[in-house]
């Protein structure tokens, strides 16, 4: 084990960085204390460590951080760069520069023995095979979404495409709950072929192509999944012969252990004293609102949210990223005016907020990181899914009985009255809300047991680490 070296390579977006870092910490603390290196693009590395003079290696006492170039060292600019060239460029440039990283490790006597790569970076799997390194995909979304993509790329694409215009059409995919078209990942429902949807779908297709090649070569493909047995037992075996290993929920250890934050953000936290503000509020009284690191709220949607929050008469803490906030305030939406029972921040420690006793409801886009953090905190949710896997995640929360999904209008916006209705459904007194809170606590216990010492996910991750050691 002393010679083991895990290299975890991830896409440079906050929702991808977080679970990758949580995985790195878990592996580094496993038996034998293997060496763990985290690697993302130079652009992401610079944002994680803005005070560095150059793109040098960093060590925080537990994890090493080494960047590679994906050809977009100043970041991919959706309104400037060519979406169609993106996939080829990151593969071509990334393969060359990450290969140089692998060679440098070899030359200095610390060769990589296992390469874990993000689901959008399928070319890393090919690179691992070229260098004879054991590898595993890290699927940071639920197993249900993985299985939905699997079936789409293995015979169900035509069926889904033929019904994509009917959001309420019922879909039955092998091994999965009954869904409607609107519950499926947007990348396989949206028909556009010249935008980010098409680009993302190609990246997922690449990943399944790599896994299929491994299977065809007689090698069992390993997929680490950010979920746990008790949550998705059926979905974990719904993707053919692929070996899905549940190792989640991959949430910050600070959330589980009540310790100091161990989160690295691509965004600068707000300086406002939001935790002190929460301290002043009654137990389970605050509505927390955040749509994550990518969603950009349009003017009307932000106005409806603000009206809906005010209509509840409850205190609220609302995250509106700095870039989005500037755009909204240019349109005369006054988010800077503090209210006695409302606070708007540009970024915050979500784990600390969801763990705070004053928070009683989470209005969320239902990104999977936010969803599993809500699960681990026993927090009932109001889901307002936007795109990608979020609609499926929202459906899973409904199935678990810990959330409600807000209905949107023809423009895709949730109106103030609907938001108020959903918040009251979750937070009011009454049998339904009480049952939702009870189930939220039940899932909190299950999630924490899974990742606790000796839990199902803990055992799975330890077994994976040991297997990589024995096969190297």
SS3 for the chain is CCCCEEEEECCCCHHHHHHHHHHHHHHHCCCCCCEEEEECEHHHHHHHCCCCCCCCCEECCCCEECCECCCCCCCCCCCCCCHHHHHHHHHHHHHHHHHHHHHHHHHCCCCCCEEEEECCCCHHHHHHHHCCCEEEEEECCCHHHHHHHHHHHHHHHHHHHHCCCCCCCEECCCCCCCEEHHHCCHHHHCCCCCCHHHHHHHHHHHHHHHHHHHHHCCCCCEEEECCCHHHHCCHHHCCCCCEEEECCCCCCHHHHHCCCCCCCCCCCCCCCCHHHHHHCCCCCCEEEEECCCCCCCCHHHHHHHHHHHHHHCCCEEEECCHHHHHHHHHCCCCCCCCECCEEEECCCCHHHHHHCCCEEEEEECCCHHHHHHHHHHCCCEEECCCCCCHHHHHHHHHHHCCEEECCCCCCCCCCHHHHHHHHHHHHCCCHHHHHHHHHHHHHHHHHHHHHCCCCHHHHHHHHHHHHHHHHC
Mean pLDDT for 378-387 is 96
133 — phi, psi (to 5°)?
A: -105, 135
- The whole-number pLDDT of residue 469 equals 81
Mean pLDDT for 259-272 is 65
Domains 5-252+452-471 and 259-449 share a fold: yes
- pLDDT band of residue 258 (cuts 50, 70, 90) is low
- Angle between helix axes 368-377 and 14-28 (nearest 10 degrees) is 50
Q: Is the pLDDT of residue 305 over 60?
A: yes
**d(Cα 14, Cα 141) in Å, to the nearest integer?**
14
Domain boundaries, the chain: 5-252+452-471, 259-449
Range with lowest mean pLDDT among 27-41, 318-332, 355-369, 382-396: 318-332
pLDDT digits (tens, 9 = 90+) for 419-436: 999 999 999 988 999 999
- Hey, which of 207-221, 321-335, 382-396 has the most confident mean pLDDT? 382-396
**d(Cα 129, Cα 393) in Å, to the nearest integer?**
32
Mean pLDDT for 300-316 is 93
- pLDDT band of residue 261 (cuts 50, 70, 90) is low
pLDDT digits (tens, 9 = 90+) for 173-204: 999 999 999 999 999 998 776 677 888 899 99
Q: Is the pLDDT of residue 217 over 90?
A: no
User: Dmax of the chain from CA atoms?
Assistant: 65
pLDDT digits (tens, 9 = 90+) for 66-112: 999 999 999 888 778 887 788 889 999 999 999 999 999 999 999 99
12 — phi, psi (to 5°)?
A: -90, 65
Range with lowest mean pLDDT among 44-48, 188-192, 332-336: 332-336
Bigger pLDDT: 327 vs 287: 287
- Which CATH class, in words, describes the domain spanning 259-449? alpha beta
Question: Residues 362, 382, 144, 400: is their CA dihedral positive or negative?
Answer: positive
Question: Could you count the other beta carbons within 10 Å of the beta carbon of residue 435?
Answer: 12
- pLDDT band of residue 1 (cuts 50, 70, 90) is very low
Beta pairing partners, 361: 287
Q: Is the pLDDT of residue 472 over 70?
A: no
Question: Could you count the other beta carbons within 10 Å of the beta carbon of residue 265?
Answer: 17
- The whole-number pLDDT of residue 471 equals 65
Q: Look up the pTM and report it.
A: 0.94
- The whole-number pLDDT of residue 444 equals 96
- The whole-number pLDDT of residue 297 equals 87
Beta pairing partners, 35: 5
- Report the half-sphere exposure of 296 (CA within 13 A, side-chain side): 5
Mean pLDDT for 265-269 is 68
Which CATH code, of 3.30.830.10, 3.30.43.10, 3.40.50.2000, 3.40.50.2020, is assigned to 5-252+452-471? 3.40.50.2000
Catalytic site positions = 16
32 — phi, psi (to 5°)?
A: 90, -10
Q: Residue 239 in contact with residue 147, Cβ under 8 Å?
A: yes
């Amino acid at each position: 084990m002393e010679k083991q070296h895990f290299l975890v390579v991830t896409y440079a977006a906050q929702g991808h960085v977080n679970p990758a870092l949580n995985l790195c910490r878990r592996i580094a603390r496993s038996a034998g204390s293997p060496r763990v290196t985290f690697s993302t693009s130079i652009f992401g590395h610079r944002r994680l460590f803005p005070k560095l003079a150059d793109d040098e290696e960093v060590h925080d006492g537990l994890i090493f951080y080494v960047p590679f170039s994906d050809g977009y060292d100043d970041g991919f600019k959706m309104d400037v760069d060519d979406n169609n060239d993106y996939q080829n460029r990151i593969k071509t440039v990334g393969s060359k520069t990450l290969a140089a990283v692998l060679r440098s490790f070899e030359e200095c006597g610390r060769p990589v023995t296992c390469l874990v790569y993000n689901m959008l970076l399928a070319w890393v799997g090919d690179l691992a095979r070229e260098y004879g390194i054991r590898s595993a995909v890290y699927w940071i979304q639920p197993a249900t979404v993985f299985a939905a993509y699997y079936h789409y790329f293995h015979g169900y694409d035509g069926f889904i495409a033929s019904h994509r215009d009917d959001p309420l059409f019922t879909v039955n995919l092998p091994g999965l709950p009954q869904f409607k078209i609107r519950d499926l990942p947007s990348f396989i429902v949206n028909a556009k072929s010249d935008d980010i949807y098409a680009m993302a779908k190609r990246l997922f297709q690449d990943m399944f192509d790599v896994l299929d090649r491994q299977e065809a070569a007689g090698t069992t493909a390993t997929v680490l999944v950010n979920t746990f047995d008790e949550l998705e037992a059926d979905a974990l075996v719904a993707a053919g012969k692929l070996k899905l290993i549940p190792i989640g929920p991959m949430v910050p250890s600070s959330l589980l252990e009540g310790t100091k934050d161990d989160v690295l953000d691509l965004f600068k936290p707000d300086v406002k004293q939001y935790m002190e503000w929460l301290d002043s509020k009654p137990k389970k009284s605050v509505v927390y609102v955040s749509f994550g690191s990518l969603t950009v709220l349009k003017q009307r949607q932000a106005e409806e949210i603000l009206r809906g929050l005010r209509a509840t008469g409850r205190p609220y803490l609302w995250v509106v990223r700095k870039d989005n906030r500037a755009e909204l305030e240019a349109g005369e939406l006054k988010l800077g005016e503090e209210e006695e029972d409302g606070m708007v921040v540009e970024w915050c420690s979500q784990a600390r907020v969801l763990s705070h006793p004053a928070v009683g409801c989470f209005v969320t886009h239902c990104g999977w990181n936010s969803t599993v953090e809500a699960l681990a905190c026993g927090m009932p949710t109001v889901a307002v899914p936007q795109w990608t896997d979020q609609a499926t995640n929202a459906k899973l929360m409904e199935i678990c009985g810990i959330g409600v999904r807000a209905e949107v209008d023809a423009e895709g916006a949730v109106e103030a009255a609907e938001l108020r209705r959903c918040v009251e459904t979750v937070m009011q007194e009454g049998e339904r809300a009480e049952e939702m809170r009870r189930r939220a606590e039940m899932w909190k216990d299950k999630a924490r047991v899974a990742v606790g010492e000796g839990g199902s996910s803990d055992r799975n991750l330890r077994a994976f680490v040991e297997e990589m050691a024995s096969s190297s």
